[in-house]
Structure 1
């Protein structure tokens, strides 16, 4: 009888529902404090995530990595379950590149306008929007 390989369960949840649910060998995510790698039997942890990509190496495919653009949120590890809760998250295959490009251009224009009018709040929001758009474009290139 073949022994079942132990694995992490990885779930990514947004207000729109579950967008990712697979078994993994390793999960790598960028927290606000730096990069974090999670393997089987990781200690329980809850950490805030940065706007960045999450990499998941599945158990059933030694060579393939799933890439997910996450716009902040939190990551929790408990009992070999990795749960990411984010406002928005997209798998590389689901990213609309032209929409992300338009969002990037919009954010760049807003940054220039905010600098010209010295509107600090608009500048900060536009910089976050630019970071999100650039993250989505970066992740889409892994597809």
Structure 2
């Protein structure tokens, strides 16, 4: 049986997911990171993109995040971001509209 760790994905407005997992994959500003149980402590800045988690019951979920922070210590992975949405909860058309609005706002600031 694979060793497990506690994982928490928290957005500014809610706890998106919390539970046990065997693997977490995410993208940081320094590159991709894969985390398994007993990983060395890490704190890094998350890049906007996806977080991929393998749960203990051979489940799998993916979340879109807008960046944030990842902290790994004592077999607990904490992912903190302003906005996160699980793929199975999302509406593609609404997500695309929001992304286009955010992109236009950023281009307007340049």
TM-score > 0.5, shorter chain as reference:
yes
5+ residue gaps, structure 1, are 112-119, 125-143
Indicate yes or no: 2:26 matched with 1:40.
Answer: no
Pick from 94, 98, 101 the counterpart of residue 89 of structure 2: 94
How far 1:98 sits from its partner (Å)? 1.6
Tell me which residue corresponds to 2:47: 50
- Partners of 2:2 and 2:22 within 8 A in 1: no
Rounded Cα–Cα distance in structure 2 between residues aligned with 1:104 and 1:29: 20
5+ residue gaps, structure 2, are none
**Corresponding residue pairs, total:** 110
Tell me which residue corresponds to 1:83: 78
Structure 1 ranges of 4+ moved more than 6 A:
none
Q: Greater helix percent: which structure?
A: 1
Tell me which residue corresponds to 2:69: 74
Indicate yes or no: 2:14 matched with 1:21.
Answer: no
Q: Which segment is superposed worse, 65-74 or 98-107?
A: 98-107
Aligned-residue Cα RMSD (Å) equals: 2.2
How far 1:123 sits from its partner (Å)? 5.4
What is the SS of the residue equivalent to 1:122?
Answer: helix
Q: Which has the larger radius of gyration?
A: 1
What is the TM-score of this pair, normalised by structure 1?
0.69
How far 1:69 sits from its partner (Å)? 0.5
Rounded Cα–Cα distance in structure 1 between residues aligned with 2:82 and 2:102: 19
